[in-house]
Amino acid sequence: QSALTQPASVSGSPGQSITISCTGTSSDVGGYNYVSWYQQHPGKAPKLMIFDVSNRPSGVSNRFSGSKSANTASLTISGLQAEDEADYHCSSYTSSSTLRVFGGGTRLTVL
Amino acid sequence: QVQLQESGPGLVKPSETLSLTCSVSGYSISNGYYWGWIRQPPGKGLEWIGTIHHSGSTYYNPSLKSRVTISGDTSKNKFSLEVSSVTAADTAVYYCARVTRSLTGCYDYWGQGSLVTVSS
């Protein structure tokens, strides 16, 4: 069981917006602004999409955005495109002995 | 462009030691940043293994700490992972990555991954 909780799957139609949640505790997501999001296509390495809750690395589309409220972080993808179909993983620093935690991953299907 | 490449045996016998190396190009690991290992069992999520700084400082997942060693070789611009006493539960794709800060940073560059199967 992963330390951060993500929905197993979400789906949306091209052009729509979707949001993926990542729920933790006050020891990780809620206590620090160190949440990052990764996109992973089948058989490929993860790719950084969002860091420090809401920052986009250079080269990542502005259709991707991140936010946080209390113990839940969110990744929003607007204007869904077929190429967005992938697994998305969240990660956070934690002050618990685990030090670093990931979510179980969310499979995004573009209908 | 920073590139990372994992290498090592794809098959390891139970109770033996898994050894992987990550070769870095396009950036000198002695110039800064941290360097980490993450694994992903088949069909499952990501798991942090540990992180190393070029100074030699290391941080390990407590659940693996007794069996894991991460080391660096700045002269060859590589860093390595060893996991001892492996079992089938250690079967996974192992990724190396650059970390922007020790424990709070994100993983901004990744290797392509190396599948390691533990089986007799």
Q: Which residues contact A50 (CB under 8 A, 6 or more apart)?
A: A35, A36, A37, A56, A60, A64, A65, A66, A75
pLDDT in tens, A13-25: 999 999 999 999 9
Contact B46 A97 (CB under 8 A): no
Q: B39-73 in b/e burial notation, b at 16+ Cβ within 10 A?
A: bbeeeebbbbbbbbbbeeebbbbeebeebbbbebe
The residue of chain A with its CA nearest to that of B65 is A98
Chain B positions in Cβ-Cβ contact with residue A97 (cut-off 8 Å)? 62
**Which tens digits make up the pLDDT trace of A46-101?**
999 999 999 999 999 999 999 999 999 999 999 999 999 999 999 999 998 888 99
